[in-house]
A and B are shown apart, each in its own frame.
Chain A
Amino acid sequence: MPRDPEVRLTQATLRVLRFFFEDPLTEFSGADILNTTSLLSGSLYPILYRLEDAGWLTARWEQVDPSQEGRPRRRFYKLTDNGHAWTQAALAKRGKKEGALQWAF
């Protein structure tokens, strides 16, 4: 597994990653993620941009004809193989930290 590219893992970023990690084979649109994670669009889209740019996520456009559907095409995201491994590591690391804090207090 290549080394994970440096991405700032804020709470919001981890929420997004956890969301994908729970169902790694499914593709999700921005609206799906917004509805489930309750993040604001202003937080979500910059996170998706950074994660895709760094290779954690991959994205593709919905294969429909917008004129037939009467709506624009959606963009779907899912974890890459590396992204899955990096997410697993990041969440495990986070879990350890949280565990340590709980123990300390």
Chain B
Amino acid sequence: MGVLGFLADVLLAVFVGLIVLEVTIREPAWSRAMVRRAARRLPDPMREACTAEWLADLGEVTGPLSKILFVGGLFWGASRIRQSWRAKRLEELNKHRDKYREAKRTVLSSDIEMDVALIDDCSKLREMCNRIKHVTTFEEFAPIQQQVGKYLHRVNTVSTVNAILLTQFWHDLQKDPEITEKLNYFRHELRGGYE
């Protein structure tokens, strides 16, 4: 039993020694590979920049053990960054969703129906645009603005809402069949009223 135990200890020592040798000799390659692997846990928009930053910082860490700690920490850190990023994104999406619902309600609400002469409806249209301007780039309304410009000049302000969300919002809005129908109705009525 004593001999077997001794042999087991020797084998273990050799095995550990080989691992240490492997880690030490091939350290730059595996540590860079591990950094890239950790960065895969990050959200897509951050991945490239964080990989570059972490690789640069890795170059300033000395010693294989420090590098192992550094790289190991990145796996944990990347997961935490992803959680924070997702929480913030979710918050933005919730705000976006609320605005979308509000805008949809506005567009579909009966009090802005174009059932009277356009000149009398401009205030209603302006009200609708005023509400929607917070969530759209307003491009879709450019022809309408040109036609009733003097009534709508005040609503042509740049929205401060994130441009990506705006684009997404407008994309979603246009795909909504009820909205599309209503917008077509507006366009038709406006053209009919002025042309």
Contacts and interface: CB of A to CB of B under 8 A. Distances in A.
Interface string A13-51: 000000000000000011110110000111111100110
A84 interface: no
B77 A74 contact: no
A75 B53 CA distance: 6
Interface class of chain A by DSSP: helix
B56 interface: yes
B81 interface: yes
B55 interface: yes
B52 A45 contact: no
B88 A45 contact: no
A73 interface: yes
A56 B131 CA distance: 33
B185 interface: no
B103 to A, nearest CB: 27
A42 B73 contact: yes
A80 to B, nearest CB: 19
Interface in B19-77: 49-50, 52-57, 59-61, 69-77
A72 interface: yes
Nearest to A44: B77
Interface of A: 29-32, 34-35, 40-46, 49-50, 53, 62, 71-75
Nearest to A62: B56
Given A40-B73, A53-B88, A45 B81 contact: yes
Contacts of B74: 41-42, 45
Contacts of A46: 77, 80-81, 84
A44 B50 CA distance: 13
Contacts of B56: 29, 31, 62, 71-75
Contacts of A31: 56-57, 59-61
B59 A50 contact: no
A45 B88 CA distance: 17
B70 A34 contact: yes
Given A29-B60, A41-B77, A42-B75, 8 more contacts: A30-B57, A40-B73, A42-B72, A43-B73, A45-B81, A53-B88, A62-B56, A75-B56
A50 B70 contact: no
Nearest to B60: A31
B50 A45 contact: yes
